[in-house]
C-alpha cells in the first residue's frame, strides 16, 4: 500500500509544472510583435519544434529510432492542403484536425513496422515507409501535383477573424498556439503511467514484458500519437505557406528532426523545442553568411557536440573538472 502511495506521489511530483517552464512561452508569444521582421522564422521554429516533440515521444521516451517520420509530416501536410485546394474547405482548424487525423491513421497502419526486429531493421523499415510515401506522392501527380507541387492552398481567416498576412504574424501566433496546446498534451502523456511504461520499454523491453506491460499495444499507441502530432506539424506548414510539395516527404526532413533532437537532447520534450530554435537560427544565419557552404557548418556543429559533449560545450567551466568529468 505504501509503495503504491509513493509511486503515486512520485508521479504527481514529476508532472508538476516547474516555475521556469512558463518563461519560454512568455518569451515566445510576444516575439512576432517585438520582432515583426522575423515572424516567418518564429512560425518555422514553432512548426519544426512540434515535429521534433512528436519524434521525441518515439525516440526519447520509447527508444524507437525512426528515419521515416517525415511520412506522417508529409501525409498530414498534403491532407490539409488537398482539403483546401480540392474541396475548398478553407477553415484552418478543420484542416489542422484533418492533418492530425491523417498522421494518426498512417502511423497506426505503419506501427506494425516497429513491433519486431532490432534497431537497425526498424531504422531501415521506417526509412522505407517514408520513401514509399514520397514515391506515391510523386506518382499520383493528378492529385498531389507531383514534382510541381500542389498550388492554390488558400486558407480562410483563422477563427473567422484573423487573416493570414504577408508578414506572417497570424501564422506565427497560430503555430505557436498549436505548439503550446499539443505540447501540453505530449507533456501529460510523458508524465502519465503510459509515459512511465514507455520508459520501461525503452530501458529493457524483455523486463517490461516480464512484469506484465503490454509492450506491443503501448508501442502502437505512442506511435499513433506521435504520427498525429507530426501530421499536425505538416498541416501547419502547408497552411501557413500555401503550398505543398514532395519536399514534405523528403529524407532530409527526417534527418533534420533527428539532428534537432541530437542538439536539444532526447527524453525531455523541451529538448525538441530548444533544438529547433538552435537549428533554425543557425540555418538562417549560416545561409546568409555563406550561401554555398552553410550545410557544411551546420553539419559540423552536431559533430563537435557529440565529440565534446553537450554539457562541456554549453558549460565551459566543466572543461576544467578533474578527469574531464561531465
DSSP 8-state assignment for residue 162:
B
For the chain, the domain total comes to 1
Quick check: is 309 in a domain?
A: no
pLDDT at position 20 is 75
> What's the CA gap between 75 and 130, in Å, rounded?
10
Look at residue 86 and tell me whether its pLDDT is greater than 80.
Answer: yes
Quick check: is 17 in a domain?
A: no
pLDDT at position 47 is 93
> What's the CA gap between 163 and 185, in Å, rounded?
27
pLDDT at position 227 is 92
The answer to whether the beta carbons of residues 247 and 127 sit under 8 Å apart is no
pLDDT tens for each residue of 253-282: 888 888 888 888 787 888 888 888 888 888
Cross-strand partners of 158:
162
On average, the pLDDT of the chain sits at 81
pLDDT at position 14 is 56
- Sorted by sequence, the CB contacts under 8 Å of residue 214 that are 6+ apart come out as none
The residue with greater pLDDT, 2 or 254, is 254
- Domain span at residue 159 reads 28-272
Look at residue 73 and tell me whether its pLDDT is greater than 90.
Answer: yes
pLDDT at position 90 is 85
Quick check: is 152 in a domain?
A: yes
Quick check: is 148 in a domain?
A: yes
pLDDT tens for each residue of 100-150: 999 999 999 988 888 776 777 788 888 888 889 989 988 888 888 888 888
> What's the CA gap between 97 and 232, in Å, rounded?
7
Look at residue 323 and tell me whether its pLDDT is greater than 70.
Answer: no
Quick check: is 35 in a domain?
A: yes
In which band, very low, low, confident or very high, does the pLDDT at 314 lie, cut at 50, 70 and 90?
low
Look at residue 309 and tell me whether its pLDDT is greater than 80.
Answer: no
Quick check: is 238 in a domain?
A: yes
> If you search the block for the grid coordinates 519560454, which residue do you land on?
24
> If you search the block for the grid coordinates 517514408, which residue do you land on?
130
pLDDT tens for each residue of 12-56: 555 566 667 777 778 878 888 787 788 888 889 999 999 999 999
pLDDT tens for each residue of 245-259: 888 888 888 888 888
Angle at 29 between CA 27 and CA 30, to 5 degrees: 75
Quick check: is 47 in a domain?
A: yes
- What CATH number does residue 74 fall under? 1.10.3470
DSSP 8-state assignment for residue 306:
H
pLDDT at position 53 is 92
The answer to whether the beta carbons of residues 147 and 138 sit under 8 Å apart is yes
In which band, very low, low, confident or very high, does the pLDDT at 215 lie, cut at 50, 70 and 90?
confident
Quick check: is 318 in a domain?
A: no
pLDDT at position 310 is 58
Q: Which range, 240-244, 264-268, 293-297, has the best average confidence (pLDDT)?
A: 240-244
pLDDT at position 326 is 36
Helix or strand holding residue 110 (H, E): helix 92-110
Amino acid at each position: 500500500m505504501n509503495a503504491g502511495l509513493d509511486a503515486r506521489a512520485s508521479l504527481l511530483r514529476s508532472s508538476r509544472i516547474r516555475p521556469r517552464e512558463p518563461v519560454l512561452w512568455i518569451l515566445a508569444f510576444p516575439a512576432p510583435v517585438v520582432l515583426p521582421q522575423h515572424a516567418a522564422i518564429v512560425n518555422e521554429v514553432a512548426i519544426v519544434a512540434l515535429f521534433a516533440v512528436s519524434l521525441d515521444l518515439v525516440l526519447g521516451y520509447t527508444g524507437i529510432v525512426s528515419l521515416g517520420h517525415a511520412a506522417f509530416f508529409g501525409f498530414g501536410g498534403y491532407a490539409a492542403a488537398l482539403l483546401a485546394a480540392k474541396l475548398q474547405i478553407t477553415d484552418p482548424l478543420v484542416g489542422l484536425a484533418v492533418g492530425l487525423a491523417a498522421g494518426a491513421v498512417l502511423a497506426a497502419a505503419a506501427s506494425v513496422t516497429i513491433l519486431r526486429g532490432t534497431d537497425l531493421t526498424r531504422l531501415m523499415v521506417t526509412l522505407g515507409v517514408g520513401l514509399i510515401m514520397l514515391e506515391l506522392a510523386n506518382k499520383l501527380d493528378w492529385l498531389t501535383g507531383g514534382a510541381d507541387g500542389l498550388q492554390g492552398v488558400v486558407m480562410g481567416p483563422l477563427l473567422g477573424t484573423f487573416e493570414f498576412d504577408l508578414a506572417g504574424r497570424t501564422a506565427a501566433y497560430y503555430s505557436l498556439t498549436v505548439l503550446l496546446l499539443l505540447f501540453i498534451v505530449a507533456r501529460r502523456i510523458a508524465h502519465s503511467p503510459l509515459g512511465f511504461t514507455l520508459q520501461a520499454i525503452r530501458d529493457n523491453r524483455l523486463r517490461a514484458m516480464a512484469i506484465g506491460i503490454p509492450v506491443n499495444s503501448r508501442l502502437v499507441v505512442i506511435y499513433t500519437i506521435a504520427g498525429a502530432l507530426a501530421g499536425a506539424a505538416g498541416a501547419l506548414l502547408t497552411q501557413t505557406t500555401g503550398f505543398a510539395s514532395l519536399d514534405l516527404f523528403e529524407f532530409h526532413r527526417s534527418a533534420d528532426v533527428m539532428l534537432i533532437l541530437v542538439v536539444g537532447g532526447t527524453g525531455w520534450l523541451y529538448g525538441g523545442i530548444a533544438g529547433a530554435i538552435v537549428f533554425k537560427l543557425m540555418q538562417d544565419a549560416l545561409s546568409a553568411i555563406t550561401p554555398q557552404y552553410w550545410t557544411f557548418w551546420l553539419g559540423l556543429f552536431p559533430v563537435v557536440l557529440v565529440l565534446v559533449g553537450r554539457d562541456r560545450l554549453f558549460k565551459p567551466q566543466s572543461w576544467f573538472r578533474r578527469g574531464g568529468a561531465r
